[in-house]
Amino acid sequence: MIFRHVFCLTCLFALPLTAQNAGETTELKEVIIEGKAESLIGTAPSASKGQTSTKELLARPFSRRGELLESVPGVIITQHSGDGKANQYFVRGANLDHGTDFLMYVDGMPVNFRNHAHGQGYSDLNFIIPELVGELEYWKGNYYAQHGDLSSSGAARFKLVDELPQGIATSTWGEYEFSRTLIADTIQAGEGRLTMALEHQFYNGPWALNSDATRWNGLLRWHWEDGTDRINITAMGYQGDWMSTDQVPQRAIEAGIIDRFGFIDPTNGGNSRRYSLSFDWTHEDGRATTRTSAYAGFYDLDLFSNFTYFKDNAAPAGDQFEQQDQRWFFGGELARDWRFDALGHEQRLTLGMQLRAEWMNGLGLYNTTARDRFNVVRKDDIFQASYGLFSELEFKPLSWLRVIPGVRADLIHFDVQRSTLPENAGVLSKGIVSPKLSIVFGPWADTEFYLNGGFGFHSNDARGVNIVTDPSTGGAADKVDPLVRTYGAEFGIRNESIPKLVNTLSLWFLRSDSELIYVGDAGNTEPGPSSQRYGVELASYWRPADWAMVDFEATWTDAHLRTDAPPSQNIPGSVPYTLNAGITLGGAEGFFGSLRGRYFGPRPLNETVDVEARESFQVNARVGYRRKNWEIALDCLNLINRSDNDIEYYYDSQLPGEAAPVFDRHIHPIEPRMFRVSVTLRF
């Protein structure tokens, strides 16, 4: 039924294409993405809109592929668990847990999962192969009509390469038994080009408990284009297995029970799989462009965690729990841009629709001991579908003024079909309309000024929307709002008056009617009171030559919960200020190098700021030499060997031998200094 609707909608948009401008062909212009220093004067709708190129992404030394997102100003990526789990994301004063309120795409396919076993908006990027990312495009705020649920803080899209200019064979070896091998190439396949890639990675890490983290990634991508059409059909597959050293209590380290890289529960870990097939088609028809995408896939996660040890269950049972997630997901988007002349300037109108559906079979939470289940907390079968319509007009009445009104309407269907407690099953549909507005002034002296405002939203978990009885206690439970309204605004400046230097400044505001708060001892997010954030972002990108790039990004944020008693509380985990800067040198051949520093400041771990997390400062470096068909590189991660923490939480837990639970910091340390050598051949 869903595919029939998508097909019919595609026909509706496509039929006029055959009638209009019959026989006409339009050459698709070659677009070269230079990256962050590229001029966006006259095209960007806000100061916080940007992109980074594959060249810039691959020049960054990184330990996790999720760190590719740190090219987005102010985004911080950490980890509090094993290497196969989704990263922890921070942006604009929000602890996003594993993806809440920051929407991510790969081409036209969303990555975030709603109603996830481990938390709303869970976004695992481990299936991405960095060398196959052609561009990372990003937006901040909720001012863009094409982005809907879970995008209030912003969105990012990983655009995969259409084809590789050369085949790649790369191998990386490093300390703590790190190894990674990738082979990828593009060949002729019929009328198009077929890109194939296979990646394997293994890592034990510095942990007392070997992580035994194994990852396989594969990709097949068929690309075809002519003067009017561009088509990509992409199959991706990922499988990961790992043991996990989760965050551990500070008191256990100080008492000498474990060291910084020690563990409490030796059976934590998990495995995950994701397989998808996607289709993307762009059709140019004179001054109109139609974009169509469709995707389908299967996802599976089995995750074992123990954050409180023996607080709820005495030895030998313990507090380990299993979160199981298995789903099929489908969806697509259809959008059309019309460009036309009026008032002496080119105008643009966009209309689009989005469809998304997920079937979750046996979304489960279990109490376990050493991965053996001894209690079913709850198990649910869920179907959720969302339908979105959006429209945006870029109206230019004067040479120095662009007005961009937009609106989107979303309808989300929540259906808990079966639950361990029958009264927790239920069906609900809810709609919401979100207007947007951007006004751009200029350019004057290569400077533009931006005013942005918009309404957004995030959905809550379908289990919370329909809950009647708490499955843990058996008591009555309050239902949560299905859709939560957010309000955002921004003033920004983009200056390019100095050649090859781009400067942006943003002053922003975001309010949410209900904050999704990470609960450390439960390992998930729960709806909380309303929240308010505001801040400043400054970014500078200087490319003095083709072989040199200098970038600097700094942010400051104030974030608090809007409560009555006390009248204001801090949001646990909200990062007040960040700094990310680097220099990259090197041309097509010869020596090259990169030096990057990332800092994020102390942050509250509870609402009253009785406890703060330590600051964190990490420096990564790379040096290498390349020729036309090969290169060798040496990466040093955590160059100055700081003993900072990747993540910190504050909650109560109980260790063996303790008479009662103890409130304490629970930390996951940054990994120590390590070296990795990569050899790459191109053919």
| pLDDT in the model for residue 343 | 94
Strand order in the sheet with 645-653: 248-249, 662-669, 645-653
pLDDT number for residue 104: 97
> From CA 596, how far away is CA 392, in angstroms rounded?
38
**Taking Cα atoms as reference points, which of 555, 543, 636 lies closest to residue 583?**
543
Coil, strand or helix at 462: helix
In angstroms, what CA-CA distances link 663 with 127, 263, 307, 520?
36, 18, 12, 12
Q: What angle do CA 628, 632, 634 make, to 5 degrees?
A: 145
What mean pLDDT value characterizes the chain?
92
Name the band, by pLDDT with cuts 50, 70 and 90, for residue 518.
low
> Per this entry, what is the length of the chain?
683
Spell out the domain ranges in the chain.
2-682
- Specify the pLDDT at position 9: 36
Confidence at 528, pLDDT banded by 50, 70, 90: confident
What is the reported pLDDT for 638? Answer: 97
pLDDT at site 119: 87
**In b/e form, how buried is each residue of 202-228, taking b as 16+ CB within 10 angstroms?**
ebbbebebebbbbbebbbbbbbbeeeb
Mean local confidence (pLDDT), 623-641: 97
Q: What is the pLDDT of residues 314-335, one digit of tens each?
A: 988 999 999 999 999 999 999 9
Respond yes or no on whether the N-terminal peptide bond of residue 443 is cis (omega within 30° of 0). yes
The average pLDDT across 549-573 equals: 89
CA distance 553 to 268: 37
- Per-residue pLDDT reduced to its tens digit, 395-438: 999 999 999 999 999 999 999 999 999 999 999 999 999 999 99
Confidence of residue 519 (pLDDT cuts 50, 70, 90): low
The sign one gets for the Cα dihedral 141, 145, 151, 152 is: positive
At residue 244, does pLDDT exceed 70? yes
Task: Check whether 609 has a pLDDT greater than 80.
Answer: no
Can you name the CATH fold of 2-682? Answer: Maltoporin; Chain A (2.40.170)
Percent of the chain with pLDDT over 90: 85
- Which residue, among 181, 175, 178, has the nearest Cα to 200 in the 3D structure? 181
Model's pTM, two decimal places?
0.92
Report the distance separating Cα 453 and Cα 413, nearest Å: 27
Q: Are 670 and 657 in contact (CB under 8 A)?
A: no
Least confident of 7-21, 243-257, 633-647, 655-669: 7-21
pLDDT at 629 over 60: yes
Query: What is the rounded CA–CA span in Å between residue 233 and residue 295?
Result: 10
What CA–CA distance (Å, rounded) separates 437 from 584? 37
Can you give the pLDDT at residue 538?
Answer: 98
137 pLDDT higher than 50 = yes
CA angle 271/277/278 to nearest 5° reads 130
Query: 361: which 2 tokens?
Result: 């079979």
Compute the average pLDDT of residues 477-487: 94
Residue that the structure tokens 């929540």 belong to: 414
pLDDT in tens, 50-66: 999 999 999 999 999 99
pLDDT of residue 263 exceeding 50 = yes
Are 280 and 107 a contacting pair, CB within 8 Å?
yes
pLDDT over 70, % of the chain: 94
- Inter-CA distances, 281 with 8, 18, 33, 409, Å: 16, 16, 20, 24
Question: In the sheet that 50-53 helps form, which strands lie side by side, from edge to edge?
Answer: 50-53, 133-140, 154-160, 103-106, 109-110
Token pair 């922890």 in the structure block, residue: 88
> Can you give the three-state secondary structure of 467-516, one letter per residue?
CCECCCCCCECCCCCCEEEEEEEEEEEEECCCCCEEEEEEEEEEEECCCE
Contact 163, 195 (CB under 8 A): yes
